[in-house]
Amino acid sequence: MSIHLGDEAPDFTAETTEGSIDFHRWKAGKWAVLFSHPADYTPVCTTELGRTATINSEFEKRDVKTIAVSVDPVEDHRGWAPDIRDVGGTDLNFPIIADPDRRVSALYDMIHAGEGDTSTVRSVFIIDPQNKVRLTLTYPKSVGRNFDEILRVIDALQLTDAHPVSTPADWTPGDQVIVSPAMATDEARQRFEQVEEAKPYLRWAAYPQS
Ligand code: BEZ
């Protein structure tokens, strides 16, 4: 089953390095990043999980819980954890789901038949506090993901949920934003600083402060 933006993130129960979890209950009204990797004890995956552990406090600051998944069993995940710490420099500080029967992987369509074997590709799902899927990304097995990009998207989603704005190409926090097309320019000038009309349909505003 493929998952589309706006869908409810499928719920599941699974064994993890932190015990059995019920996904929706585990995330409990927070944002979540659910991401898959092909296999334990592999180089790219080790760098990705190490990086996630190192910046996990950045996810926590944004009220986001991180959780990884692969088709390897929980004993392998536990045995691999010291390597993740050695490579990334931080103890594993988020759960890894063990999915040897491929239930979670199938639910989230993380196994792509054309990609060689029955392991998961590098999928990412950003899921909001209401359990709605807000972003999906799929990377090939040979290419590690950019976790700063995942934080950037979370910042953009949280900002655009809070204000009638969008974010332009290559936006980073603090940059100008785009006023929603639904808002008249006069109203935008009352709500935002430094509103500029580049085109009738493209109005810039300063980064909203509150
Ligand atoms: C890796 O993590 O290095 C990897 C895993 C599976 C396929 C290719 C690379």
Q: Are residues 85 and 187 in the same domain?
A: no
Q: For 153-204, how does the pLDDT look when each residue is reduced to its tens digit (9 = 90+)?
A: 999 999 999 999 999 999 999 999 999 999 999 999 999 999 999 999 999 9
Distance (Å, whole) CA 207 – CA 191: 11
Determine, yes or no, domain membership for 5: no
Pocket test of ligand 1: the residue of 48, 71, 142, 143 to mutate, having most ligand atoms within 8 Å of its CB, is 142
Residue 200 three-state SS: coil
- Supply the CATH number for residue 71's domain: 3.40.30.10
Q: For 86-145, how does the pLDDT look when each residue is reduced to its tens digit (9 = 90+)?
A: 999 999 999 999 999 999 999 999 999 999 888 999 999 999 999 999 999 999 999 999
Distance (Å, whole) CA 75 – CA 72: 8
Q: Which domain holds residue 192?
A: 163-205
Q: pLDDT category, 210, cuts 50, 70, 90? A: confident
Of 134, 163, 184, the C-alpha closest to 176 is 163
Q: For 47-98, how does the pLDDT look when each residue is reduced to its tens digit (9 = 90+)?
A: 999 999 999 999 999 999 999 999 999 999 999 999 999 999 999 999 999 9
Give the torsion through C-alpha atoms of 81, 86, 92, 93, to 10 deg.
170
Of 126, 34, 110, the C-alpha closest to 71 is 110
CA of 98 to the centre of ligand 1 (A): 17
Tokens representing residue 67 in the block: 């959780």
Determine, yes or no, domain membership for 195: yes
Protein residue with its CA nearest to atom 2 in ligand 1: 44
